[in-house]
Structure 1
């Protein structure tokens, strides 16, 4: 799903399910972009994150990615994308993951009605710049 403003894409939201991922990585593209060695290393580190099947029931949509261009932030783009997806897609339950340092996103998700159900401490948190992954869900009423 994308949001277009004045002919420019200013926001995206990717929603996956247990049968198909919205965002995948493939080795040939990574090797072409980064070279043989770095492409293979990138694929090996990203494969499980982006290509593995999701362990959710059929009624669950997984919000895999949300992004808004800098010039469109604060103008309701992400809110509009979420509302459209939550109304139009057939899922009863939506799950997403956010890192603890992304307070702007956490506020948005809670405003939309998402509730925290799990936290997972991150290994190598100093290198990654965050301590925990926070899992939130929204269930259609």
Structure 2
């Protein structure tokens, strides 16, 4: 199994839909409002991806894991209302457009150019547990930044939390959620890695 890591814009437009498939499979539960159909989800998300923000782990040349990297005010999605309405229907499309803009866009508190945020890290189901996400994360930590953050990881996502801890991230915040029983998890965890402090 050969793992390579590349930025999505370097791979090119022909990879856009495959990247959207990996992203939407990994976050199918979170994206269920938009559609429960994997094909429709990928069709809805593919056009809005800002490819230069997506870093991809390829296994034997095919996208197997994705992660988004942003700094400061950078966004990773550029939703088109008309395109979402075309894929999801007129009413559902406009509601989805508003949700994406309010929930998945906009800089987080403390965002700045020297702080690198890694988000939407996920691996295609058939490649989970094979070191693909680890290879991707290790490559991202080679980026020229002194500080990295990961936000809003579900506290039930033990594999992800374990991986990030192994890579040197420590918990910085735990945000309890309402209706935990219905949601299936009780808190969002944020983690950080400050390379300057780690090297001190």
TM-score where L is the length of structure 2: 0.64
Structure with greater strand percent? 1
Matched, 1:106 2:161: yes
Name the residue aligned to 1:136: 191
Task: Quote the residue 2:76 is aligned against.
Answer: 22
Structure with larger RCO (C-alpha < 8 A, sep 6+)? 1
Bigger helix fraction: 2
Distance 1:72 1:124 in 2: 32
State how far apart, in whole Å, the 1-side matches of 2:180 and 2:79 are. 24
TM-score with structure 1 length normalisation?
A: 0.89
Structure 1 unaligned blocks of 5 or more: none
- Relative to structure 1, the CA distance from residue 3 to residue 48 in structure 2 (aligned partners, 3 Å threshold; closer, same or farther) is same
Shift of 1:24: 4.3
Alignment match, 1:54? 108
Over residues 32-69 of structure 1, what are the superposed CA-to-partner deviations in whole Å (9 max), with x where a residue is unaligned?
22111111111222212222123312211111111111
Aligned residue number for residue 13 of structure 1: 67
Rounded to whole Å, the distance in 1 between the matches of 2:75 and 2:68 is 9
Q: Report how far residue 14 of structure 1 moved.
A: 0.9
Native 8 Å contact 2:73 2:106 kept in 1: no
Q: Which runs of 5+ in 2 are unaligned?
A: 1-54
Give the superposed CA RMSD: 1.6
**Residue correspondences, number:** 140
**How far did 1:102 drift?**
0.7
SS of residue paired to 1:113:
coil
Q: Identify the residue that residue 44 of structure 1 maps to in structure 2.
A: 98
Contact kept in structure 1, 2:73 and 2:112, CA below 8 Å: no
Q: What is the match of residue 79 of structure 1? A: 134
